[in-house]
Structures are given as structure tokens and as C-alpha cells.
Amino acid sequence: MCGITGIARFNHREECENKVRIMNQHIEHRGPDAEGIWAHDFCVLGHRRLSIIDTSAAGNQPFLSDDQSLVVVFNGEIYNYIELRKELENTHTFKTQTDTEVIIAAYKRWGIDCVEHFFGMFAFALWDEKQAQLLIARDRLGVKPLYYAETEHGFIFASELRAILSTGWVERRIDANAAADYLRYQTVHAPNTIIEGVHMLMPGHRMIIHSKGIHTERWWDLTDSRVRLDGSEPKESIHKRVNELLQSSVELRMRADVPFGAFLSGGIDSSIVVGLMSRISAHPVNTFSITFNEQAYDESPYSELIAKRFNTKHTAIQLSADHFLRMMPEALQAMDHPSGDGPNTYVVSKATRDAGVKMALSGLGGDEVFAGYDVFRRMKALETKQWLNSLPLAIRKNAGSLLRVLKPSAAAEKIAAALAQERVDLAHFYPLTRQVLYESEVNRLLKFRPVENNCVELLAQAVSGIRMPTLSKVSVLEISTYMQNVLLRDADQMSMAHALEIRVPFLDHRLIEFVLGVSDKHKFPHTPKELLTASVGELIPREIIDRPKMGFTFPWAVWMKNELKSFCEEQLQALRQVEVLHHEEVMSLWGRFLAGDQRITWSRIWPLVVLGHWVKQHDAH
């Protein structure tokens, strides 16, 4: 796990070397173990290293082939590097034990199609002197980020947005349409970012950059790559295959030459990861959990149950709600791209890294892949409500308006918005499920009329016209929107703020490709994540499977009206400098929240607080 930077297609090499050096400084937290820069007349590549595999200096980057015709900078891990190394030894003489060198060897053998052979999370840039081209690629699920901008001075790319901004070649202007996306979903969906002119390379995509231009193409597709099952497969064979894929995924992600462990909340997903790790490891697994004195937030009875069951070397990091509260400004300071979520990952990552661990496995992705959220239940129930489409749209709109009056709440607003859609179906209803502020509020906050909802466009591209089970379609939508643009982005920026690598076994592409082909009858509506828990047999106890879902349920509304009130107001005031926002409408929302308007919950205000902090920190406008 590291950070990469670079500039290509420029005019002044010396200036670009200095710019890449500055970019490296801005992502030093991602890789405190080593730094490197390589310069050429076409591109300059930079790297910050967090050594996980082959920690010797031989693995430092930029990494050059023996004849120096190939140069790579790489962020992430190729988990199947040992298997690939054996396959490539007849055409490449290896000098290190790194997975970085495997990228070089694989490129020699397969060219740009080398990415199709990699199991892992990665973003890398590889210069090919003979072809006179730069290849930039991103992993299938988008676990590792890659930002870029085309400017008059050159093509810039980096692992973090702050590095792009540090060049001074991009105006720090908030993108108008991205602002609308953020107001709706507390994030900006890739390929856009909050800054005008800066984009993200999409998951499963690669770019080829040469003197004649830039070519971008998709090399892996979430829906096209799924396993085609016909629904007649016996559940025993389904469970057996899921179990095999899970064990393989965890085993590959335990490859490291440094101390590692796992996050253990005591929920289904993290408990299964720890259980599988314990089966594989010859030594007790290091596990880490956050505990609280306040019983309403504390999951320690469940995490301790799993730690005892698998004899882990367990570290319970006890925090008070006040301590968590005091860490909030620090967590926001670490945020590279604004997001309405993430402080909890910052806290557990800091505690884990302080314990001497450089890599940790996480249960992230289990809910999205195995239908663990309530949204799956709601979308499945929608199949029985198609009769609503027989009602005239005007009647449905009036019913929604009446509900708003009779029961003013955030939930009523969402139902009313759903009834006002052209059709009541998955394609029209899903985009509302994760929406924070609704169109009427977004329109009041913005000084322009926003474009069509970007999430709707992503949805249409993801599942329109595709025949697959309903719950699999919802998985595709969750993965393509909320998971990639909130959860994974937050996990990366909050863990790498502490130079901690997070690995996510549930996002093994082989596992996802298989589970997307499994029929709904194996996933729902029996018990929580029925397919997942049945596939691992008696690995985890019923107390974990049947426990209520908790998470960090802190009293945010109380804090924001008391201890955090002045902090929130300071950040909201910073939004005055954002050209696309009506600041008086921002403060109106804040006033309604303070007055107790049930339609304006804390979760609808907090993303604005975060945005204000980010704008002030990065001097954006």
C-alpha cells in the first residue's frame, strides 16, 4: 500500500520534477517508509512507500526493469503474486520478492491485458519506453483511488486529490454539478470529483497516454463478468462454492511480511473474516475493536465472544463518546475528498496502527454482496407493489403531498418522492434510497438548476436491460454507488492517514462474480445474510447471526446542538465562499434543524458541515 503521483505530456521537465516532489510531500502519510521520483522527457513518476511485501530497499519505487525500458509506480497489492510469479519465471528473472516486480513481468508477457490476470486492489502507472506510452490502470472494484486532471501544463495523476491541487495547475473551483451530487448523496460519484476539471479513473478501467492523445477503456465489467447460473443449482453446491471462494479470498489477503490483524466489531461480516483467518493462521490472529462505556454504543460483548471463540490476540480500545467527539476535527482534517461519513474508520485505524499493525482485514462489502441492508428488503418488497403504477401519476403525487402534511418526517419525504416518480420500480425508486437532501432542497441551495441526477445515470448504465435476480441488481447498484463512492473512498483516506493498509476479502472479484449469479431464493428473506451464514456452516454462533445491527450510533443530533454547535456553525459559515451555493439557504436548513424540524435530521446537515470544513481547509470556492 502506497501513494503514487505523476505528470505526463508536459513541456518543462525540471518544473514537473519539482511539482511531483511537492505532490509526494502532500501524500507522505500514505507511505512513510520510502520515497522515489523517476524522470523522463515524456513523464515524471513519483511514489511514497508503505512496505508490506518484501520490505527491503529492493522493493522501493519507481521500479525499473533490468533494461530500464519499463518503469512502474504502484499503489495496492496483487494478492496472487506468488502464483503469477511461478507462471512467469520462464520469461522473467526475478530479483525481488515483491508483487511490484510481478506487474513488470506480467506486462512483458501480456501487455496492457496484464491487469486481467491480477487478483487484488491496485492503481498503477507503467511507462513503456519501446511503445512510448504510459499505462494507468485501476482495480476491478475501485478499492484503490486514482485522481487525474488534464491541464495546459500537462496530464496530472495521483492517489489523492490534495496532491493534484498542490501543483497549482488546477483552479480550486467547486464543480457545480458535483455540488448537486454531493448535496443529494453526501459524496460525488466517480468519475467526477468536487473540483471542476479533476476526475477519477473508474473502477475496472485503464488509460493509455502517448504523444497523440489519451485513450480510456473498460477492461472489467461488474455485470458482464458475473457467473451465469440458471437458478436450479442445489443450495448445498451453492454454499460449498461460496465457502471455497471466501476461504481463498481470506487466505490470499493474509499474505504479508509485516504484523497484521483484523477489525472485529462482532457483526456477522467481521466475525466470519476473523473465523476464517483463524482457520488458516498457525498463530493467534490480532484483532482490534472499539469499545465504549456507554452501553448503547458498545459492541464489546459480541467482539469478545468471537475473540474467545477463535482464541485471538484481542485488543479492545476503549473510547468514551467525549473522546470520539474530541477526535472529530482531527478526522476531518485527514479527509482528502469531502464525504458525509468516515470518522469511525479514522478512529479504529488510528488505534490499530498505534498498536504496531500495518495491515488489517475488514468486513467491508459483506452487506453489499450478500444483501445485508434494509434496502434489499425494500427493493424486493417493491415487486409486490407494481399495482401502484396503475394509478394516475397525479393521484400518486397528491397522496405523497398529503403524507408530507399528515406525517412530516424524513421518511415521509422519501415516500412522497418515490410516489412522484414516473414509475414505481427499481430503476426509479433506488436512487431515492440513499438520497440525503431531496430535489426541492437541492434546488433551493444551488444558484443554478442542476443537471439530471448522476446516480440515476449510473443506475441506468449498471442494470438497464440486464436479466439477473432482483437482489443481484441491488448489489450491483450498491457496489457501484454507495460502496465505491462512500465506503471505499472513506476507508482509503481514513486508514492511509495513519499509513494503515485495509484489505477487504468480501470484494474478491471471483466471489462477487459468483454471488451475483445466485438466485434470490438462496439470499432472502430467511435470516440476516442467509446465503453468507449458511455457506460458512457453524463457523460463527447464532448469537452473532441473530444480534441486532448496531454500528456507531452516537447522539449526533445532541452533539450538533450542544458540544459541536459552534464548530458546525464555523464550518457552515465557510460555505459563503462557495460560488454555486445560496448561503442563506444553508443557514435556513441549520436553523430548521436547531428548531427541531423532524424533516431536517442531523444526517442531512452533517455533510454540509464536512463540506464547509473541506472548503476552508483547501481554500476552494
Q: Hey, is 340 helix, strand or coil?
A: coil
- Per-residue burial over 37-68, b = 16 or more CB atoms within 10 Å of its CB, e = otherwise: bbbeebbbbbbbbbbbbbbeeebbbbbebeee
Place of cell 484481542: 314
For residue 195, give every residue at least 6 positions away whose Cβ sits within 8 Å of its Cβ, in sequence order, or none. 161, 164, 165, 170, 172, 173, 174, 175, 178, 620
The total of other beta-carbon atoms located within 10 Å of residue 411's CB is 12
CB 443 within 8 A of CB 449: yes
Choice among 2, 114, 455, 568 that is catalytic: 2
User: How far is the C-alpha of 92 from the C-alpha of 113, rounded, in Å?
Assistant: 17
Place of cell 495513519: 498
**Angle subtended by helix axes 488-496 and 343-354, to nearest 10:** 40
User: How far is the C-alpha of 91 from the C-alpha of 109, rounded, in Å?
Assistant: 8
Q: Backbone phi, then psi, for 37, in 5-degree steps?
A: -135, 135
Report which of 611, 609, 591 is spatially closest to residue 600, judged by C-alpha positions: 591
CB 53 within 8 A of CB 61: no
CA angle 410, 593, 601 (to 5 degrees): 30
**Angstrom distances, CA of residue 260 to CA of 164, 329, 349, 352:** 31, 28, 12, 9
Q: Sign of the C-alpha dihedral, residues 172, 436, 460, 201?
A: positive
Q: For residue 568, indicate whether it is catalytic.
A: no
47: β partners: 4, 36
User: How far is the C-alpha of 448 from the C-alpha of 290, rounded, in Å?
Assistant: 43
Q: Which residues are catalytic?
A: 2
